[in-house]
Amino acid sequence: MIFKILIPLLAIATVYFLGKSHARKEQARGVALPRPVGQIAEKGSTFQLAAYAVALSVAGLAGWYIYADWRESKMMVRIRVINAETGQVALYDAPKGLVFGRAFTTQDGRRVTLADVERMEVQPIE
């Protein structure tokens, strides 16, 4: 989960520092950066506006990705636990984010761990 936050922050920092580096190089060479006329010239160069647009879009996409992942983890699934020896079936409902391999936590808080002779089928609840 931490990487879902760190990667967008790393991308934003990279764009920011590339913009700063570019501006320093141009300033060191003594080249005046072209500025658009009018209102935009007061707020910043075209490169800065593009950098801000990229940073905002990366942050927005990262936020959307985190929200979609959170929403999917809260989605309820129906779990059928089938005993291979007896054929007995038990049904459970659990959030998708609480299903881990051969163990899961049900909607009412019970922790279920499957035995070696049991198998699990997971289906979304519609």
| Tens digit of each residue's pLDDT (9 = 90 or more) over 15-41 | 888 878 777 776 677 655 565 555 444
Closest CA to 99 of 126, 84, 81, 85: 81
Residue 89 region by backbone torsions, left for phi larger than 0, else alpha for psi between -120 and 50, else beta: beta
In the chain, which residues have pLDDT < 70? 1, 26-27, 30-44
Question: 93 phi and psi, to 5 degrees?
Answer: -115, 135
Range of the domain at 119: 75-124
Q: Are residues 65 and 9 in the same domain?
A: yes
pLDDT score for 36: 57
* Same domain assignment for residues 10 and 28: yes
Report how far residue 119's alpha carbon sits from residue 6's, in angstroms, rounded to the nearest whole number: 37
Q: Are 44 and 34 in the same domain? A: yes
* Domains in the chain, number: 2
Q: Are residues 20 and 60 in the same domain?
A: yes
State the pLDDT at residue 39: 47
Burial classification of residue 4, based on how many CB atoms lie within 10 Å of its CB (0-12 exposed, 13-18 middle, 19 or more buried): exposed
Backbone torsion region of residue 30, taken as left when φ is above 0, otherwise alpha when ψ lies between -120 and 50, otherwise beta = left
